[in-house]
Chain A
Amino acid sequence: DAGVIQSPRHEVTEMGQEVTLRCKPISGHNSLFWYRQTMMRGLELLIYFNNNVPIDDSGMPEDRFSAKMPNASFSTLKIQPSEPRDSAVYFCASTPGGGGGEQYFGPGTRLTVT
Protein backbone atom coordinates (compact mmCIF):
# COMPACT_ATOMS: atom_id res chain seq x y z
CA ASP A 1 0.00 0.00 0.00
CA ALA A 2 1.16 3.50 -0.73
CA GLY A 3 1.82 5.66 2.27
CA VAL A 4 0.99 9.32 2.65
CA ILE A 5 1.97 11.15 -0.52
CA GLN A 6 3.11 14.77 -0.53
CA SER A 7 4.08 17.06 -3.36
CA PRO A 8 6.23 18.79 -4.18
CA ARG A 9 9.14 17.39 -2.17
CA HIS A 10 11.05 20.63 -2.47
CA GLU A 11 9.81 24.14 -3.18
CA VAL A 12 11.90 27.27 -3.54
CA THR A 13 10.02 30.51 -4.00
CA GLU A 14 10.46 34.22 -3.60
CA MET A 15 8.92 36.25 -0.84
CA GLY A 16 5.41 37.33 -1.70
CA GLN A 17 4.62 34.39 -3.93
CA GLU A 18 1.79 31.94 -3.33
CA VAL A 19 2.77 28.42 -2.32
CA THR A 20 0.51 25.37 -2.41
CA LEU A 21 1.48 22.11 -0.77
CA ARG A 22 -0.44 18.93 -1.51
CA CYS A 23 -1.19 15.77 0.41
CA LYS A 24 -2.87 12.46 -0.34
CA PRO A 25 -3.59 10.53 2.87
CA ILE A 26 -3.62 6.77 3.20
CA SER A 27 -6.84 5.36 1.78
CA GLY A 28 -9.41 4.76 4.51
CA HIS A 29 -7.85 7.12 7.02
CA ASN A 30 -10.38 9.56 8.44
CA SER A 31 -8.02 12.02 10.07
CA LEU A 32 -5.43 14.26 8.44
CA PHE A 33 -2.87 16.55 10.02
CA TRP A 34 -0.58 19.26 8.69
CA TYR A 35 2.60 19.89 10.68
CA ARG A 36 5.52 22.27 10.33
CA GLN A 37 9.02 21.36 11.51
CA THR A 38 11.88 23.77 12.15
CA MET A 39 15.10 23.43 14.08
CA MET A 40 14.01 26.10 16.53
CA ARG A 41 10.46 24.93 17.26
CA GLY A 42 10.43 21.24 16.36
CA LEU A 43 7.16 19.75 15.11
CA GLU A 44 4.10 21.98 15.38
CA LEU A 45 0.55 21.00 14.53
CA LEU A 46 -0.96 23.47 12.10
CA ILE A 47 -4.39 21.99 11.43
CA TYR A 48 -6.35 18.79 12.00
CA PHE A 49 -9.14 17.48 9.76
CA ASN A 50 -11.55 14.68 10.59
CA ASN A 51 -13.83 13.34 7.84
CA ASN A 52 -12.73 16.29 5.66
CA VAL A 53 -13.87 18.85 8.24
CA PRO A 54 -11.34 21.17 9.95
CA ILE A 55 -11.54 20.41 13.66
CA ASP A 56 -8.64 22.41 15.05
CA ASP A 57 -6.84 25.16 13.16
CA SER A 58 -5.48 26.94 16.22
CA GLY A 59 -1.93 26.18 15.10
CA MET A 60 -2.23 28.03 11.80
CA PRO A 61 0.20 30.92 12.27
CA GLU A 62 -1.80 33.68 10.65
CA ASP A 63 -4.24 34.52 7.92
CA ARG A 64 -1.61 33.95 5.27
CA PHE A 65 -2.04 30.23 5.87
CA SER A 66 -5.09 28.30 4.73
CA ALA A 67 -5.89 24.61 4.36
CA LYS A 68 -8.60 22.69 2.59
CA MET A 69 -9.71 19.11 2.31
CA PRO A 70 -12.23 18.91 -0.53
CA ASN A 71 -12.48 15.13 -0.33
CA ALA A 72 -11.15 12.17 1.61
CA SER A 73 -8.15 11.68 -0.64
CA PHE A 74 -6.75 15.18 -1.03
CA SER A 75 -5.72 18.16 1.04
CA THR A 76 -3.85 21.39 0.36
CA LEU A 77 -1.97 23.85 2.51
CA LYS A 78 -1.62 27.28 0.97
CA ILE A 79 0.58 30.18 2.01
CA GLN A 80 -0.19 33.53 0.43
CA PRO A 81 1.88 35.65 0.48
CA SER A 82 4.91 33.65 1.55
CA GLU A 83 7.63 35.10 3.79
CA PRO A 84 11.19 33.93 4.55
CA ARG A 85 10.14 32.90 8.07
CA ASP A 86 7.81 30.33 6.52
CA SER A 87 10.85 28.32 5.43
CA ALA A 88 10.48 24.89 7.06
CA VAL A 89 9.60 21.29 6.34
CA TYR A 90 5.86 20.74 6.12
CA PHE A 91 4.53 17.28 6.89
CA CYS A 92 1.17 15.74 6.28
CA ALA A 93 0.08 12.79 8.41
CA SER A 94 -3.00 10.61 8.50
CA THR A 95 -4.57 8.12 10.87
CA PRO A 96 -7.70 6.00 10.89
CA GLY A 97 -10.61 6.86 13.17
CA GLY A 98 -10.92 9.91 15.33
CA GLY A 99 -7.34 11.10 15.29
CA GLY A 100 -5.97 9.43 18.40
CA GLY A 101 -4.26 6.51 16.73
CA GLU A 102 -0.81 6.07 15.30
CA GLN A 103 -0.02 8.81 12.84
CA TYR A 104 1.54 7.93 9.49
CA PHE A 105 3.66 10.71 8.08
CA GLY A 106 4.42 11.65 4.52
CA PRO A 107 7.96 12.44 3.34
CA GLY A 108 7.44 16.17 3.81
CA THR A 109 7.85 19.24 1.62
CA ARG A 110 10.94 21.34 2.23
CA LEU A 111 9.95 24.96 1.60
CA THR A 112 12.52 27.68 1.14
CA VAL A 113 11.33 31.26 0.79
CA THR A 114 14.01 33.71 -0.35
Chain B
Amino acid sequence: KNQVEQSPQSLIILEGKNCTLQCNYTVSPFSNLRWYKQDTGRGPVSLTIMTFSENTKSNGRYTATLDADTKQSSLHITASQLSDSASYICVVSRGGYQLIWGAGTKLIIKP
Protein backbone atom coordinates (compact mmCIF):
# COMPACT_ATOMS: atom_id res chain seq x y z
CA LYS B 1 0.00 0.00 0.00
CA ASN B 2 1.32 3.45 -0.87
CA GLN B 3 1.88 5.33 2.37
CA VAL B 4 3.74 8.32 3.74
CA GLU B 5 4.28 8.43 7.48
CA GLN B 6 5.57 11.45 9.34
CA SER B 7 6.96 11.88 12.80
CA PRO B 8 6.58 13.39 15.23
CA GLN B 9 2.90 14.25 14.94
CA SER B 10 3.59 17.52 16.73
CA LEU B 11 6.61 19.32 18.11
CA ILE B 12 7.19 22.34 20.32
CA ILE B 13 10.58 24.04 20.38
CA LEU B 14 11.97 27.36 21.55
CA GLU B 15 12.75 30.12 19.10
CA GLY B 16 16.31 29.91 17.83
CA LYS B 17 16.59 26.15 18.28
CA ASN B 18 17.01 23.64 15.47
CA CYS B 19 14.67 20.76 14.73
CA THR B 20 14.35 17.80 12.39
CA LEU B 21 11.14 16.32 11.03
CA GLN B 22 11.01 12.78 9.67
CA CYS B 23 9.24 11.17 6.75
CA ASN B 24 9.16 7.46 5.84
CA TYR B 25 7.46 6.28 2.71
CA THR B 26 6.42 3.11 0.95
CA VAL B 27 5.45 4.43 -2.46
CA SER B 28 6.00 2.79 -5.78
CA PRO B 29 6.87 3.89 -8.32
CA PHE B 30 8.82 6.83 -6.94
CA SER B 31 9.24 10.04 -8.93
CA ASN B 32 10.10 12.73 -6.40
CA LEU B 33 9.60 13.78 -2.79
CA ARG B 34 8.28 17.17 -1.74
CA TRP B 35 8.03 19.09 1.48
CA TYR B 36 5.23 21.61 1.91
CA LYS B 37 4.69 24.21 4.62
CA GLN B 38 1.11 25.01 5.58
CA ASP B 39 0.42 28.00 7.75
CA THR B 40 -2.83 28.00 9.71
CA GLY B 41 -5.72 29.07 7.49
CA ARG B 42 -3.69 28.95 4.29
CA GLY B 43 -2.93 26.53 1.50
CA PRO B 44 0.28 24.47 1.42
CA VAL B 45 3.37 26.12 -0.06
CA SER B 46 6.17 24.10 -1.62
CA LEU B 47 9.54 24.17 0.16
CA THR B 48 11.55 21.62 -1.83
CA ILE B 49 11.19 18.97 -4.51
CA MET B 50 13.82 16.21 -4.56
CA THR B 51 14.33 13.57 -7.20
CA PHE B 52 15.80 10.11 -6.74
CA SER B 53 19.37 11.29 -7.33
CA GLU B 54 19.31 14.23 -4.93
CA ASN B 55 20.48 13.60 -1.36
CA THR B 56 20.23 17.11 0.03
CA LYS B 57 18.43 20.27 -0.96
CA SER B 58 18.30 23.58 0.87
CA ASN B 59 15.88 26.48 0.83
CA GLY B 60 17.13 29.15 3.20
CA ARG B 61 17.03 27.75 6.72
CA TYR B 62 15.27 24.61 5.51
CA THR B 63 17.36 21.61 4.47
CA ALA B 64 15.76 18.44 3.17
CA THR B 65 17.54 15.10 2.88
CA LEU B 66 16.53 12.01 0.97
CA ASP B 67 17.75 8.45 1.33
CA ALA B 68 16.10 6.56 -1.51
CA ASP B 69 17.54 3.24 -0.34
CA THR B 70 15.89 3.36 3.07
CA LYS B 71 12.95 5.41 1.77
CA GLN B 72 13.42 8.09 4.36
CA SER B 73 13.51 11.86 4.21
CA SER B 74 14.05 14.56 6.78
CA LEU B 75 13.47 18.29 6.95
CA HIS B 76 15.89 20.20 9.14
CA ILE B 77 15.05 23.72 10.27
CA THR B 78 17.96 25.83 11.50
CA ALA B 79 17.66 28.70 13.95
CA SER B 80 13.88 28.51 14.13
CA GLN B 81 11.76 31.64 14.01
CA LEU B 82 8.22 32.28 15.21
CA SER B 83 7.11 32.34 11.57
CA ASP B 84 8.18 28.71 11.21
CA SER B 85 5.15 27.69 13.27
CA ALA B 86 3.12 25.68 10.77
CA SER B 87 2.34 22.17 9.60
CA TYR B 88 4.99 20.53 7.46
CA ILE B 89 3.75 17.94 5.01
CA CYS B 90 5.83 15.31 3.23
CA VAL B 91 4.49 14.29 -0.18
CA VAL B 92 5.73 11.56 -2.51
CA SER B 93 5.01 11.65 -6.22
CA ARG B 94 4.37 8.42 -8.11
CA GLY B 95 4.84 10.30 -11.36
CA GLY B 96 2.54 12.70 -13.15
CA TYR B 97 -0.18 14.11 -10.96
CA GLN B 98 -0.36 11.21 -8.49
CA LEU B 99 0.78 12.41 -5.07
CA ILE B 100 0.71 10.53 -1.78
CA TRP B 101 0.33 12.99 1.08
CA GLY B 102 1.54 12.51 4.64
CA ALA B 103 -0.53 13.64 7.60
CA GLY B 104 1.95 16.37 8.48
CA THR B 105 3.92 17.45 11.54
CA LYS B 106 2.54 20.40 13.48
CA LEU B 107 5.44 22.58 14.61
CA ILE B 108 5.04 25.25 17.26
CA ILE B 109 7.83 27.72 17.93
CA LYS B 110 7.67 29.37 21.36
CA PRO B 111 9.39 32.68 22.15
Contact = CB atoms under 8 A, between A and B. Distances in A.
Size category, A interface: 20 to 34
Interface residues of B, number: 19
Interface string A4-27: 100000000000000000000000
Contacts of A31: 97
B101 A105 contact: no
B31 interface: yes
Interface string B16-39: 000000000000000100100000
Given A42-B102, A42-B103, A42-B104, A98 B97 contact: yes
Contacts of B85: none
A9 B60 CA distance: 31
Nearest to B45: A105
A54 B101 CA distance: 21
A50 B98 CA distance: 13
A107 B96 contact: no
A108 B40 CA distance: 11
Given A42-B102, A43-B101, A99 B96 contact: yes
A100 B93 contact: yes
B1 interface: no
A100 B95 contact: yes
A87 interface: no
A98 B43 contact: no
A42 B101 contact: yes
Interface of B: 31, 34, 41-46, 49, 89, 93, 95-97, 99, 101-104
Interface of A: 4, 31, 33, 42-45, 48, 50, 55-56, 91, 93, 98-100, 102-108
Q: Which 6 A-B pairs have the closest CB atoms?
A: A105-B43, A99-B97, A43-B101, A102-B46, A42-B103, A100-B96
